[in-house]
Structure 1
Amino acid sequence: MQVKKNPNADPGKYSFIFFQIGLIVMLSLTYFGLEWKSYQGDDLDKQRVQINSFEQEDVPITQVNTPPPPPPPPPPAMPEIIEVIEDKLDIEETKIESTETNQNEAIEPIAEVEDIAFEEEEEEIEKIPFMLVENIPIYPGCENVKGKDAQKKCMSEKIDAHVQQEFRTYISEQLGLTGFNRIYVIFKIDAKGYVADIRARGPNKQLEEEAIRVVKLLPQMKPGRQRDKPVAVEYSLPIMFEIRESI
């Protein structure tokens, strides 16, 4: 005998409805679970903050004693006698003469250019340093030397030989000076070739006087020339010698 199922007793017939009901219930429980909040009254901080009013401190008032301003100066004293000056001055009026010419006045003849005499003023050239002059002075015995550099060398050698021959070095021994002695001499060879304006500077006044004496003995030279005119030339001469101590 075969068993037959009752179609009304089939549980799978209402499975979809049960699924929807269960879904609605679960969603409702989830929503209420998320929205539920609980508070614990013991965890609340019930302390009260009390703010006391600040006490106001009285600041003492300091008074500055300012001195009173000085009294204004007294007005100037009135003069006892008032001198009245007359308002009448003698003013000399300046007469302005007319510059217009009159036909009756005689006209002076105009001088010709050839009749006017011109005087040429000579240009004064001051002393020129030895290294800058165009033509240096010529020492006796250097006349035949050609070239400016060769002439300078010849003049320097001649002056050095003159100083070595005339300078009295024993003056330093008498003064007790030893070692190197330097004397700087500056002099001028004027427009006529003579030595002038000699100045010396050294360790001792007697050595300076001796250097001036030696330079005065220099012979007359051919003067230097600047712009084809004889000029004064300034020359510097260092004199150096050594005094050795006696052993």
Structure 2
Amino acid sequence: MEIKKSAKADLERGKGLSLLLGLLVALSVVFVGLEWRSAVTQAQAQEKAFNTQDVEDVMNIEDQQKPDEPEPEPQQAQQTEVQLPDELKVVSNDREVIKPSFVSVDQDKPLPPPNIPLGTKNVQVDEEVDQAIFEVVEEQPEFPGGMEALLKYLAKNINYPESAVDNGIQGKVMVRFVVERDGSVSAVETYKSVDPALDKEAVRVVKTLPKWKPGRQQGKAVRTRYIVPVVFRLQ
């Protein structure tokens, strides 16, 4: 049995036309894409060129507005002119010349103390040491014959006051004095009192003491303070 085909149902008839239309559409799309990309690139190039040109114009304007600074002129050394007299006058030797007098601004101020030489200062220091009174020294002063001889001298030379005898007053008066560098006794005073009459007699007796052996400090005789008891006792 033979198969009959309808002309309307033939699919091969429009195949070539459809292919051509597809190719045309594809080419149109590609062309449009290329044209758009070219336009964007051209616009960016123009914008870049515009910006560069603006910067150059601004720089040119600033350069034109900046005035040219004048170069500093070299300074010339100042010269001082000295005028000499036209004529030199010779003064006679017989003519009196007034000498200028100079007054110091410090003439009314007191003068400072003179400098003391080193040797003089040492002498003053030695004098101060010699005048100092020592309470304790390396070698104590000594009465000729020792303490026993001192007590015998005091007992032998004391005159008991009658007022103290009548009132029955007795006791021990402490007398303080200074043994000088030459051994003599000075600055005698009462250190511990008992009675005015007894105190007075004790001071009198100590003032009559003969010279002592002076006290010594570092091998040198010095003024030394000393205290002795003067005993008053009724028999």
Q: TM-score range by the shorter chain?
A: 0.3 to 0.5
Bigger radius of gyration: 2
Question: Normalising by structure 1, what TM-score?
Answer: 0.41
Question: Normalising by structure 2, what TM-score?
Answer: 0.43
Give the structure with the larger helix fraction: 2
